[in-house]
Amino acid sequence: MSALLWLRRDFRVHDNPALTEALRLGVKQALFIATPGQWQHHDMAPIKVDLIRRHLALMASQLKEYGIALQVLSAADYTQQVNLLNHFCQRQGIKLLLANSEPELDEVIRDKQLLDVGLDLRLWQNDTILPPGSVRNQQGEMFKVFTPFKKAWLKLVASSGIECLPTPAKPSTLVLQTTADLTLESIEFDYPKVDSSRWPDSAQVMENLLPSFWEDKLLDYAERRDFPAIKGTSGLSPYLAIGAISPRWLALQLVQRHPEVIYDMQHGAFSWLNELIWRDFYKHLLFHFPELIKGKSFQPKYQSLPWPNNQAHFQAWCEGRTGYPIVDAAMKQLRHTGWMHNRLRMIVASFLTKHLLVDWHWGERFFMQHLIDGDFSANNGGWQWAASTGCDAQPYFRIFNPITQSQKFDPQGQFIRKYLPELNDVPDKQIHFPHEYLESQGKMGSYPAPIVDHKAARLRALAFYKVE
């Protein structure tokens, strides 16, 4: 039976079950169909699209070594994608599609439409470490709190291990039937362009950056990861978001280096493993509660909160003009680089929802429109955590103080000064809330005044969230 490898969100040759099956069947063709209209509908950041474009070129060169030719086509949205794919398969005499699953609602509907037109679509799960639905409580249900999920997750890994496919062996001889090589220059999308080249491709990351992380940063991850002025994180989230690096492979690499990390939560490497488990947690939530994709609050009592949604406040937050330096510097980082440090994501999300009482959906969408690592489950989970509307969210009465957060995690203001050069001359002690100092220096106009008072905003949030 003639078959086709359909790339979707799996730009890698390691731990790629659809590719492994394609090689077993002797498949010679792979296809990627861009959907710019769908990306726009899903608020995909242009910088993330550019990262995908670069990895398509990388994937084409890697697949060529296995005798598989990759072709890139475009359709406006998923409806057109189904029609184009059906026409392509009919013309080529293809009956079998091999792909890795995408769990989001629109993607699931699209896959059902393909089955309805008579194509045999075979899917494999490859975006979590443990399969969605495999980690359940004693009642057979999804955990509503992260800590018991984590303990059950660790128990499963300890007893069953981590299944991860190796990189397939390359054939000694091959015949590639293609008219031209697919190059980066030949891949163009009808989508806004933002350069992602400051992020190396996944091959470089796996060959050069990851070994350095394992050796130099992993055991100190817990102590360093919360400080945005230093490179204490792994920086792997963009590659996980597009499927360029396998989470199973990462977890297996970690456990092989530090097998005791599965049993010892005090181990220096556990803090990083914990982040991977959080990622699994949010993806398992989406599997069990697909209505999250429709914008539902996980906590029903918060579904109809009457958010004031001050448009001017939201715009100031977006542009980094709130008058709170750690918030503003973080938002400048996002807009300038397409990425934001995780501690800062928590701070700015708390500020938007608790200090400004702006609907978390607004922040969720803004993040997706700008993040190179935008991923629905993680982004939704993070925003609902910050807004206290989600599964295992921080309680509504815990409201981040942006000033003390700044003092604790950017004590010398190194990060603030990087993105707010207008505060370069403010002393360390005053930089976290510089307004009195600037006034004393006659420089009040050089930096925005605070748009809300922290104490008053906190009291207002407590009253707002007090839902009976």
Alpha helix locations (H) across 217-374?
221-224, 237-241, 247-257, 270-288, 311-319, 325-337, 342-350, 360-370
Distance CA 433, CA 57 (A): 46
Q: Which residues of 27-58 are buried (b: 16+ CB within 10 A; e: fewer)?
A: bbbbbbbbbbbbbeebbbbbbbbbbbbbbbbb
pLDDT tier at 255 (50, 70, 90 boundaries)?
Answer: very high
Distance CA 319, CA 59 (A): 36
pLDDT at 468 over 50: no
pLDDT at 186 over 90: no
- Other Cβ atoms less than 10 A from the Cβ of 137: the count is 13
Q: Specify whether the CB–CB gap between 122 and 97 falls below 8 A.
A: yes
Predicted confidence (pLDDT) per residue in 366-397, tens digit? 999 999 999 999 999 999 999 999 998 788 88
Q: At what angle do helices 270-288 and 376-387 cross, to 10 degrees?
A: 100
Predicted confidence (pLDDT) per residue in 20-38, tens digit? 999 999 999 999 999 999 9
- For β-strands 3-6 and 29-34, DSSP reports them as parallel
pLDDT tier at 183 (50, 70, 90 boundaries)?
Answer: confident
Looking at residue 179, its pLDDT comes to: 47
Q: Percent of the chain beyond pLDDT 70?
A: 98
pLDDT at 248 over 80: yes
pLDDT at 178 over 60: no
Please state, rounded to an integer, the average pLDDT across all residues of the chain.
94
Looking at residue 1, its pLDDT comes to: 61
pLDDT at 175 over 60: no
- For β-strands 120-124 and 29-34, DSSP reports them as unpaired
pLDDT at 455 over 90: yes
pLDDT tier at 263 (50, 70, 90 boundaries)?
Answer: very high
Distance CA 102, CA 18 (A): 13
Looking at residue 180, its pLDDT comes to: 59
Which sequence positions are flagged as catalytic? 275, 278, 307, 342, 360, 383
Q: Specify whether the CB–CB gap between 268 and 215 falls below 8 A.
A: no
Stated pTM of the model:
0.95
Looking at residue 467, its pLDDT comes to: 65
Predicted confidence (pLDDT) per residue in 309-336, tens digit? 999 999 999 999 999 999 999 999 999 9
Taking alpha carbons only, the member of 126, 105, 141, 176 closest to residue 21 is 126
- Other Cβ atoms less than 10 A from the Cβ of 141: the count is 9
Predicted confidence (pLDDT) per residue in 334-364, tens digit? 999 999 999 999 999 999 999 999 999 999 9
